[in-house]
Every structure is written in structure tokens, then in C-alpha cells.
Amino acid sequence: MQYASFGKRAVAYIIDSVIVGLIAGIPIGCLIGITTAFAMEMSEEAYIIAIIAVSLIGALWAIIASILYFAWMWSRTGQTLGKKWLGIKVVTAEWIPPSFWRAAGRATIGYWISDFVFGLGFLWMLWDDYQQCLHDKLFSTYVIEA
């Protein structure tokens, strides 16, 4: 078994970020378009409230879409589309895909902690014997060649 390289993991994450951006961005763009279309009929105060509401709904949807994408994909096969295209996957110490809840924790709490101090948690793998990032260590996962 071979651990995935930093380069493969980074490219897979970029691919997945674009995919999640599209999944989240298209509905948000439609919602903004609808709100803007009705802007002429609203008072200034109503328009401001509508834009704030759309922004909050959009942010919430982006978070939910991201969690669902990563957790669902990792828990099924250990691979998101980006990881599949790069030939790598996420596994537990038992070499199976993580559970949905472990994957969801890794995608949220784990990624947030890894990113907290200038992204050093993502660079952790560069000096780790098992090439684990901080979020891998927190949720007992490994990223290996598929």
C-alpha cells in the first residue's frame, strides 16, 4: 500500500472544490437572479432584507452541499470525483471507507482545524511518517493510492 502524495491530494481537492462550487453556486446564482428581478418592486429596506436573507441561505447551502458531497462520496467508496480521477482514496485504519459521520467530521471540523493556522494542518503530511494531514490524524483516516 502506498500513501498518496501531496501533489495528488492537492489537485484532487482543487477539482472537488470546483465541483462543490458548481453544485452550490448554480442554485445560489438563480436565487440571486430571482431576487434581483423583483428588486424594482421592493422598497429599499425590503431589498436589503432580501439580499441579507439570500446571502445567509446561500452560505448555509454552500456549507451543506460541501459536507454532503465529501461525506457521502467518502463513506461510499472513499473517493470523491477528484480523488477518483487522481487514483487515490480515503480509508480508515481497517482499510475501508470511513462512515458517513466520520467523513462528515473530517470534512468539517477536520478541514477547519487543518486550515486554522495558515493551512499548516494540510502541510502536516510533508513530515508525517504516514503522510497524514492533521484532519486525517483527528479522524483516523489515511489517503492511499487506489
Query: Is 1 inside a domain boundary?
Result: no
Q: Where are the alpha helices (DSSP H) in 1-146?
A: 6-37, 44-77, 81-86, 100-105, 111-116, 120-123, 134-138
Q: What is the pLDDT of residues 45-55, one digit of tens each?
A: 998 999 999 99
Structural domain count of the chain: 1
- Domain span at 89: 6-145
Q: How far apart are CA 83 and CA 88, in angstroms?
A: 5
**Which helix (H) or strand (E) covers residue 30, if one does?**
helix 6-37
pLDDT above 70 covers what percent of the chain?
100
- 39 pLDDT higher than 90: no
Query: Is 83 inside a domain boundary?
Result: yes
Q: What is the pLDDT of residues 87-124, one digit of tens each?
A: 999 999 999 999 999 999 999 999 999 999 899 999 99
Kind of pairing, strands 88-92 and 141-145?
antiparallel
The pLDDT of residue 10: 97
Query: Is 24 inside a domain boundary?
Result: yes
Query: Is 120 inside a domain boundary?
Result: yes
